[in-house]
Amino acid sequence: MNAHRGFQGVACGSFLLMVGCMDGGMDHGSMDGMDHSMGHFAPAPVVVEGAFTEVLGRIPVVEGTSATLEPQAVRSKPDAGSLDALGYSSAGPLGPTLSLRTGDRIGVTLRNKLSEATNLHWHGLTAPADLDGHPDSGTAPGASKTYSFPISNRAGMYWYHPHFMGSTARQAYRGLAGLIRVTDAQEEALKLPGGLDEIPLVLQDKRVSAGSLVYAPTSSDVMSGWMGETITVNGVASPVLKVRKGWVRLRILNGSNARIFQLALDDQREMRLVGSDGGLLGQSAGIRSQLMGPGERTDLLVDFSKDTTGTVHHLHSLAFANGGVQGRQSFRVLKIVVDSSVGTTTAMPTDLGPISLPDPSKAARTRVFTLDGMGAMGGTTGMSGMTGMTGMHTINGKTWDPRRIDETVVAGQTEIWEFKNTTDEPHPVHVHGLQFSVVARWGGRIAPEPFEKGWKDSFLLLPGETARIALVFPDNPGDFLLHCHNLEHEEDGMMLRFRIQSAGGV
Ligand code: C2O
Ligand code: CU
Ligand code: CU
């Protein structure tokens, strides 16, 4: 079985231009979704770069604390014929950026104009449990729901997307996702590049066939996750971005269902890493590349002050090791052209302010979560709960069950959670309702990465790796999720639920 998967991967790695690899067509179409006897990985589609001529648009921003989001069918391109995408307004795929300050109370109304249920999840924020977007609580077509709660998170870039069981992956892929930009006084005092020089980038990959967006994962696509040959930034395929001479702040979300990016600039110039999922790091760090799994965010300052007008750069995704079917190709994501105008040229701070990450030595206990299932190296485990299309991906041998509370924790307590990837595919692990820190990693990479030195809500676990995270549970009782943010894996059942109990019991 391993040999067979190895063959699949090698075949596509060696023949990058093979049509069968590009459309994922090979022989896996013969898998009918019922035969799970082989963990059969679809190869990552080979990325086909576009022309890099379409100008990257600014994502619309909603200033203020109230917004109405109206999920509905939209065209993936303004001039394309079919309503193959989804948006939070008639303007097109993706939603507006919600721009907020810590302490704001938001009131966001979801008016469902879809023909199926949906809901909203606030990825990275600490929202009340009943507003966190539970897989079993959706808003019916034609109905509305208002999400009102205070923003307790620090400055950072968070995001929203649906989380309704059975449709999270498809709805997010078709365009239901948006950014949440939170600021606070500590961040504002640093005077990081803002306005034109602060550029949100939502990276995604899409599969386009005959001009329309395709979402039709077979069971072998579920093994790898659904990936596409077309890379989009803020919904635009292979766009071009004009930047001013000076510092530019790139605030990046990997909003793909499954694709991992190894981001670097073409000349591999140093980028100043200033933030992670949960806001600013304590200190900036120079990096030349960053491996980003689905759900993760990064905050990078890049200095274009010494480039002459018209200089062209590209943001690349480089090849990387140990990515399962991914990482075999280097491709360009975004063209960057340096403009004649001059932007932010003041020196950037290296001290970004104190952050108080969880102290692992205070941990009351350690819980172990083993990511396993059909893709397990050297055998299968946890297959008993398998039904229909689900069950190839498990955590501690279990698939998602809405009737079950898998773990119970106490508000205010510190714990270590150890995640072990026993499979031969990567898993981007995500925990709802809080930010944590990555304290150790082994079995592949041997330490937390520089971009994991701050607050995180999602991190990548490559094949064979184990990582430990330290969490302090907020005083926000109720039920929250932990899952793989490869959205096909999540839909396949790689998701558990934990309950936060208040410190006094109950
Ligand atoms: Cu963005 Cu449950 O996740
Ligand atoms: Cu989340
Ligand atoms: Cu996974």
pLDDT digits (tens, 9 = 90+) for 143-187: 999 999 999 999 999 999 999 999 999 999 999 999 999 999 999
Please list all protein residues whose beta carbon sits less than 5 angstroms from ligand 3, which is an ion: 427, 484, 486, 489
Which atom of ligand 1 is the closest one to the Cα of 495? 2
Ligand nearest to the CA of 127: 2
Which atom of ligand 1 is the closest one to the Cα of 163? 2
Is residue 456 within 6 Å of ligand 1 at its C-beta?
no
Helix (H) or strand (E) holding 204: strand 198-206
Residue carrying the six token digits 């077979």? 218
* Mean pLDDT lowest among 79-93, 146-160, 253-267, 367-381: 367-381
Token pair of 475, please?
A: 């005083």
pLDDT band at residue 382 using 50, 70 and 90 as cut-offs: very low
Is residue 430 within 6 Å of ligand 1 at its C-beta?
yes
Is residue 245 within 6 Å of ligand 1 at its C-beta?
no
Is 90 exceeded by the pLDDT of residue 429? Answer: yes
CB of 92 within 8 A of CB of 74?
yes
Q: Whose CA is closest to atom 1 on ligand 1?
A: 123
Token pair of 462, please?
A: 């490559």
Q: DSSP character for 273?
A: E
Ligand nearest to the CA of 434: 2
Cα of 348 from ligand 3 centre, angstroms: 37
Q: Whose CA is closest to atom 3 on ligand 1?
A: 123
**pLDDT in the model for residue 9:** 29
Cα of 163 from ligand 1 centre, angstroms: 7
Three-state DSSP at 311 gives coil
Cα of 156 from ligand 3 centre, angstroms: 25
CA nearest to 253, candidates 428, 408, 48, 403:
428
Three-state DSSP at 462 gives coil
CB of 171 within 8 A of CB of 160?
no
Ligand nearest to the CA of 486: 3
Which atom of ligand 1 is the closest one to the Cα of 159? 1
pLDDT tens digit sequence for 442-480: 999 999 999 999 999 999 999 999 999 999 999 999 999
SS (H, E, C) 65-125: CEEEECCEEECCCCCCCCCCEEECECCECECCEEEEECCCEEEEEEECCCCCCECCEEECC
The residues facing 94 across adjacent strands are: 87
CB atoms inside a 10 Å sphere around CB 506: 5
Ligand nearest to the CA of 160: 1
Label the pairing between strands 156-161 and 85-87.
unpaired
CB of 47 within 8 A of CB of 205?
yes
**pLDDT in the model for residue 390:** 60
Which atom of ligand 1 is the closest one to the Cα of 124? 1
Is residue 393 within 6 Å of ligand 1 at its C-beta?
no
Which amino acid belongs to residue 20?
Answer: G
Model pTM score: 0.90
> Whole-number mean pLDDT of the chain?
89
Cα of 258 from ligand 3 centre, angstroms: 8
In this prediction, residues 14-30 reach a mean pLDDT of: 30
Count of all residues that appear for the chain in the document: 506
Cα of 132 from ligand 2 centre, angstroms: 8
Label the pairing between strands 458-461 and 466-472.
unpaired
pLDDT band at residue 76 using 50, 70 and 90 as cut-offs: confident
Cα of 401 from ligand 1 centre, angstroms: 17
CA distances from 42 to 11, 39, 217, 232 (A): 11, 10, 10, 21
